[in-house]
A and B are shown apart, each in its own frame.
Chain A
Amino acid sequence: MNIMIIKHLLCVIFLGVVCAVSTSCTAQEEKLTIEIIAAGTVSDFWTTAFAGAETAAAQYGADIKLFGPELEKDDLLQEHILLQSIARKPDAIIFSAADKILTTEVFDAANSEITIIELNSGLDDSRLASYVGSNNRALGHTLAQEIASRFSGGTIAMINNAATVAAAKERETGFLESLSGNPEFSILASVYCDADIDKAEKLAETLMEDHPNLTAIVCLNASATIGAGRAIEKAEKNDIFLAGVDCAAEEAWFMECGVLDVTICQNPYAMGYFGVEAAIRHIRGESAEEVIYTDFSVVTKETMFLKRNQQLIFPIS
């Protein structure tokens, strides 16, 4: 009888070993899929953000895919890309709205199955898991302070991205909050370039023609800054103070030439990195902050080649 029992038990033990070994071999975690839908893909800003995102994805073992229109002005294309991405049902979408995107429809389509992280565009929607990017209002404040510290008064023109982009609106509000209290400054109504460099250039030309005694042009995003820089360089009006945002290669050159006088450099690498990190934390159910602000810093011609700024302005390719 005992021998029979032992035989039975040996069979059971053998099966147990087989099961244990096979489960431990097949128990490989499936990789998280994260898609980044950027506003643009070719600018220095976005390549750097992608580099940060890829670093985080590699570190956390997630699969990451990058989508977006080449240029930020292609907002219709971005919407199309976004809808396609939602249809693929990735674990998370990191999204930076280019322009008049119909965000409500998009979020409805995602229907809470997909974690949505917003990157630097400042949408206001409760279905967003986290916002990662600059504090755009503070960025506007800082720009205003740069103007106020250099001029006691004058006419200020403002070229913004688009009236419908929340981030652009925030920067504008921040700037106006700081400066409109000062009666010495007359601030012209904002004009919008819709992330189009050529349009920004034309807008700047028009502004300079219409207001020959213009003190400063404040540009609230990179394409506006580049466009205005081109216009000022062409018109050889270096005496107009140009304040901008970001420091793409062309902007850096304008700065060296004295066209661009001050710029606020954001930290796109950190945005990409923390965006992916926040997405992964949300998917895993760990705690993640709702708002993650990345740093920005003021760069002028004198400080642009300081070590710290070099590291921030120029991405390592």
Chain B
Amino acid sequence: MVNKLLTLLKQHFHLNSLWFIISAITVFMALMATLTIALIMNIRFSAAIDNAAFVNNARIVSAAADNIDGYIMEVFRTSRVVAEMTETYPAQKDIFDNVRFLLPEDIDTIAVFTENGDLELKTDDRPLLPKQALTSQQWFRAVAPGSSMFVLSNPHIQHLFPGEYRWVISMSAGLSWSSGEQNRRGMMLIDLNLSAIDELFADMMDENSYLYVMDEDGEIIFHPRQQMIYAGIWQDETISSADIGEGSLIVENNSERLLVSVGPLSYASWRVVGVSSLKGALSYDADMPVFVIIIISLILLIVVILTILISFAVTRPMRRLMTLMKSVESGKWAVSSEGNGIYEVAALSESFNKMVNKIKLLMEQVLTEQRALRESEVRMLHEQINPHFLYNTLDSMVWLAERGDRENVVIMIEALAKFFRLTLSGGKDIIPVRDELKHVESYLTIQKMRFGNRFDFKINMDQSVADRFSMKMLLQPLAENAVIHGIGNTYEDGMIIISAYLDADDLIYVIQDNGIGMAPEKLKMIAQNGTQNDVLLDQGVGIRNIRQRIQLLYGGNYGLFFDSEPESGTTVTIRIPAINDKVARKS
């Protein structure tokens, strides 16, 4: 089935064929439409996703900030509880020495020192480093002893216990208490395990985003890739961009677009930074571009196939018509197109059928007419080489010769020779008007001598027709009629006048005699057809032949026109196209 279709397509494939143009335009439009929609959707969805990411990122950052703030507050409250214990039980200070505090995992150590660095209280019994090693450390000098301030350090290695090195964040809080009568000032150290902060927002991150905390100088407090940063393998390029206080901005980083949101903390001079990658709708899901391409390809495939099918189906009647026309072109006339479905094509089919039929008719007509013309001409020749005419003429010549009228014998022989030469005219159908007139002149010369000069004739040729051409042997039969039927029966001086002139583009021959004329009925009969009448057979054949030849060659507007009255003669007018030299030579 598919193969058949393909063969069909290949057979009818032309770049300018209708089905191909329709298919190409439709496919192009479908492609444009699909791509435009995909593009608009992509832009639209990307913007929506960006927008959602902005909101989401800011929300996560603020939630994380709240978490950390809450955590710091909690630690601070813990420090207040311990402070109160210090205040409340100064006398029983030694009970702490025997008590092991059960601390949450995130708090490594709580210790209270006097302003001189002497240990007042500690939550475990691990031995401390010497006093000098402690008081030089940053956490000890971070707050004024006795104040109510607290300060959080950056992550650092805890340096309190011999041989133990843990990453902690230290909270140093000022503290004052009374011991006996004395007011004592000091500070409390709470070391928080760095890994504990991790848990504060472990569940707030996904593969497209992460959170980190930095201090006001851009130093990392916590970062999910802290170790990579510490090992010098990786640098977070958003750190410099995050120096914006509170708010969000988009950072273009290599090929990535990163959304950086910054939120401040209430209880520390730290900032929470949330980073999400903005990838746009297409790359949000790794399969998305593939999916979109598959969908677009499928749509296009369907459109291509359907358009080809539809355009092929639509143009099928036209192709059939085309095939029919081709077969007509190659001469097969016996075809007809069946009109179907589509209005325009049906109308076209109908016109085509009419045209073919008409041409068929015309061709048949032309064939018939040509045959008739040939027959007429052949008949005319037979007429001309009439043995009676020749016999009579020769007889006249014998008589003249016997009389010793040598001069007239010569004239007659000359006229006869000219007559026959012009009759044959080298086989041409169209001869100069001059020759046609000479032909009739020769004929009338012979007849005049035969009839013993009982009539005379005159030939008027307008100079304008001298170089025109005309059908041959139009005048002789009419002249014969004029001699035999017009003048031959009278004994008065007969006169035959033959004229040739132009009327616009028509050539007019007029044969006028002053013979016996015709009764109106006879005239009417001759004017109508000049046939089927036994009485008029002789002259009828001649007239009918001339009329037929004129009609076949020039059509209905031309022909023979009769005007006659009894006793006053007959005038026959022939109207035919005046043919130019060139046209005549062509034919």
The answer to whether the Cβ of A87 comes within 8 Å of any Cβ in the partner chain is no
- Of all chain A residues, the one with the shortest Cβ separation from B231 is A269
Q: Which of B162, B226, B305 contacts A316 (CB 8 A)?
A: B226
The yes or no answer to A102 lying at the interface (CB within 8 A) is no
With known contacts A9-B305, A52-B227, A55-B228, A24–B290 Cβ distance under 8 A:
yes
For the side of the interface on A, what is the size category?
35 or more
Determine whether B55 belongs to the interface, using a CB cutoff of 8 Å to chain A.
no
Q: Does A13 count as interface, using CB distance less than 8 angstroms?
A: yes
Contact B232 A314 (CB under 8 A): no
Cβ contacts under 8 Å, B226 to chain A: 316
Residue pair B287, A312 in contact (C-beta under 8 Å): no
Give, as a whole number of angstroms, the nearest-CB distance from B347 to chain A.
23
Contact of B165 among A6, A269, A274, A314 (CB under 8 A): A314
* A283 interfacial by beta-carbon distance below 8 Å: no
CB-contacts of B194-252 with A (<8 A):
194-195, 225-228, 230-233
- B157 interface hit (Cβ, 8 Å): yes
Complex interface bits, A1-15 against B, C-beta within 8 A gives 1, otherwise 0 = 010111011000100
Distance A307 CA – B301 CA, assembled complex (angstroms): 64
Task: Give chain A nearest CB distance to B4 CB in angstroms.
Answer: 9
Within 8 A of B (CB), among A272-317: 273-274, 295, 305, 307, 310-317
Q: Which of A129-137, A149-157, A198-206, A245-253 contacts B (4 or more CB under 8 A)?
A: A245-253
Residue of A nearest to B316 (CB): A2
Query: Contacting A295 at CB < 8 Å: which of B164, B195, B230, B232?
Result: B232
Q: How far is the CA of A314 from the CA of B228 in the complex (A)?
A: 13
Using A2-B309, A2-B313 as known contacts, say yes or no to A249 and B298 having CB atoms under 8 A apart: no
B358 at the interface (CB under 8 A from A): no
- Compute how far the CA of A271 lies from the CA of B287 in the bound complex, rounded to whole angstroms: 34
Q: Are B232 and A267 in contact (CB under 8 A)?
A: yes
| A8 proximity list for chain B (CB < 8 A) | 1-2
Contact call A249/B164, Cβ cutoff below 8 A: yes
What residues of chain B lie closer than 8 Å to A249, measured between beta carbons? Answer: 163-165
Q: What is the distance, in angstroms, from A28's C-beta to the closest C-beta of chain B? A: 10
Q: Could you give, for residues 105-127 of chain B, a 1 whenever the CB lies within 8 Å of some chain A CB and a 0 otherwise?
A: 00000000000000000000000
A16 to B305 alpha-carbon distance, docked (Å):
14
Among A6, A20, A295, A311, the residue within 8 A (CB) of B309 is A6
A235 at the interface (CB under 8 A from B): no
Residues of B within 8 A of A270 (CB): 231-233
Q: Does A250 contact B231, Cβ atoms closer than 8 Å?
A: no
> Do the beta carbons of B2 and A310 come within 8 Å of each other?
no
Residues of B contacting A: mostly: helix
Tell me if A189 is interfacial: C-beta within 8 Å of chain B: no
Say whether A13 contacts B231, CB under 8 Å.
no
Residue numbers in A under 8 Å from B166 (CB-CB): 314, 317
> Is there contact, CB below 8 Å, between A5 and B163?
no
- Flag if B1 contacts A16 (CB, 8 Å): no
A43 to B306, CA, bound (A): 71
Asked whether, in the complex, the Cβ of A256 is within 8 Å of the Cβ of B233, the reply is no
| Residue ID in chain B nearest A317 by CB atoms | B195
Answer whether A4 and B167 are a contact pair too, CB < 8 Å, given A16-B298, A55-B225: no
- Asked if residues A316 and B194 are in contact (CB atoms below 8 Å), the reply is yes
Structural contact, B233 and A273, CB atoms closer than 8 A: yes
* CB–CB A316/B167 < 8 A: yes
A residues less than 8 Å from B225 (CB atoms): 55
Which residues in chain B, 274-291, are within 8 Å of chain A measured between CB atoms?
A: 287, 290-291
Known: A20-B298, A55-B225, A253-B163. A316 touches B230 (CB 8 A): yes
**B294 near A20: Cβ-Cβ < 8 Å:** yes
Task: Provide the residues of chain A in CB contact with B290, threshold 8 Å.
Answer: 24
Q: How far is the CB of B91 from chain A (nearest CB, A)?
A: 36
Please tell me if A77 contacts chain B, counting CB pairs below 8 Å.
no
**What distance in Å separates the Cβ of A47 from its nearest Cβ neighbour in chain B?**
11
Given contacts A2-B309, A13-B302, A249-B163, contact A310 B157 (CB under 8 A): yes
B residues in contact with A267, CB < 8 Å: 231-232
Interface of chain A residues 247 through 270 with chain B (CB within 8 A): 249-250, 252-253, 256, 267, 269-270
B224 vs chain A, min Cβ distance (A): 10
Q: Across the interface, which residues of A come within 8 angstroms of B287, CB to CB?
A: 24
Interface status of B159 (Cβ within 8 A of chain A): yes
A315-B227 contact, Cβ under 8 Å, with A17-B298, A269-B233:
yes
Contact between B232 and A13 (Cβ–Cβ < 8 Å)? no
B163's closest neighbor in chain A, by CB? A253
Contact A316 B232 (CB under 8 A): no
Alpha-carbon gap, A310 to B287, bound state (A): 44
Tell me whether B379 is interfacial, beta carbon within 8 Å. no
Establish whether residues A16 and B231, one from each chain, have CB atoms under 8 Å apart when the complex forms.
no
Closest to A310 in B: B157
- Known contacts: A24-B287, A253-B162. The answer to whether A312 contacts B231 by CB under 8 A is yes
Q: Is A214 an interface residue (CB 8 A)?
A: no
Indicate if the CB atoms of B163 and A250 lie closer than 8 Å.
yes
Beyond A52-B231, A314-B167, is A305–B157 a contact (Cβ under 8 Å)?
Answer: yes
**Which chain B residue shows the least CB distance to A252?**
B165
Chain A residue with minimal CB distance to B220? A311
Chain A minimum-CB-distance residue to B312: A2
Chain A residues within an 8 Å CB radius of B291: 24
B583 at the A/B interface (Cβ < 8 Å)?
no
Instruction: List the A residue with the shortest CB-CB distance to B165.
Output: A314
Q: Is A176 an interface residue (CB 8 A)?
A: no
Q: Is B156 an interface residue (CB 8 A)?
A: yes
Question: Does B334 belong to the interface (CB within 8 Å)?
Answer: no
Which has the most chain B C-beta neighbours within 10 Å: A5, A8, A17?
A5
Nearest to B198 among chain A residues (CB) is: A316
Q: Which residues of B contact A20 (CB under 8 A)?
A: 294, 298
B5 interfacial contact with A, CB 8 Å: yes
A51: interface (CB < 8 Å) = yes
Q: Tell me the nearest residue of chain A to B138, going by C-beta.
A: A305
Chain A neighbourhood of B162, CB < 8 A: 253, 256
CB neighbours of A16 from chain B (8 A): 298, 301
B231 touches A273 (CB 8 A): yes
For B225, the closest partner residue in chain A by CB is A55
Question: For residue B228, which residues in chain A have a CB less than 8 angstroms away from its CB?
Answer: 52, 55, 269, 273
With most chain A CB atoms within 10 A of its CB, the pick from B228, B287, B290, B301 is B228
Q: How many Å from the CB of A154 to the closest CB on chain B?
A: 30
Q: List A contacts of B1 (CB < 8 A).
A: 4-5, 8
Complex Cα–Cα for A8 and B231 (A): 63
Q: Give the distance in Å from the alpha carbon of A274 to the alpha carbon of B159 in the complex.
A: 31
Chain A neighbourhood of B195, CB < 8 A? 316-317
A252 to B164, CA, bound (A): 9
Cα(A315)–Cα(B167), bound, Å: 8
Task: Give the distance in Å from the alpha carbon of A136 to the alpha carbon of B296 in the complex.
Answer: 58
Question: Can you name the residue of chain A whose Cβ is closest to the Cβ of B291?
Answer: A24
Of the listed residues B194, B230, B301, the one surrounded by the most CB atoms of chain A closer than 10 A to its CB is: B230
Q: List residues of chain B with CB within 8 A of the CB of A269.
A: 227-228, 230-231, 233
A256 contacts across to B, CB distance below 8 A? 162
Residues of chain A contacted by B305 (CB below 8 angstroms): 9, 13
Q: Are B301 and A13 in contact (CB under 8 A)?
A: yes
The answer for the CA separation of A270 and B226 in the assembled complex, in Å, is: 13
Q: Which of B164, B231, B291, B306 has the most CB of A within 10 A?
A: B231
Which residue of the partner chain, among B167, B294, B298, B302, contacts A317 with CB atoms under 8 Å?
Answer: B167
Nearest-CB residue, chain A, relative to B193: A317
15 contacts between A and B (CB under 8 A): A5-B5, A8-B2, A13-B302, A13-B305, A21-B294, A24-B291, A253-B162, A253-B163, A267-B231, A270-B231, A270-B232, A273-B233, A310-B156, A317-B166, A317-B195
Residues of A near any B CB (own CB < 8 A)? 2, 4-6, 8-9, 13, 16-17, 20-21, 24, 51-52, 55, 249-250, 252-253, 256, 267, 269-270, 273-274, 295, 305, 307, 310-317
The 6 closest A-B pairs by CB, nearest first: A311-B230, A269-B231, A253-B163, A310-B157, A20-B294, A314-B165
- Given A16-B301, A295-B232, A317-B166; 7 other pairs, CB 8 A cutoff: A6-B309, A256-B162, A269-B230, A305-B157, A313-B165, A315-B227, A316-B226
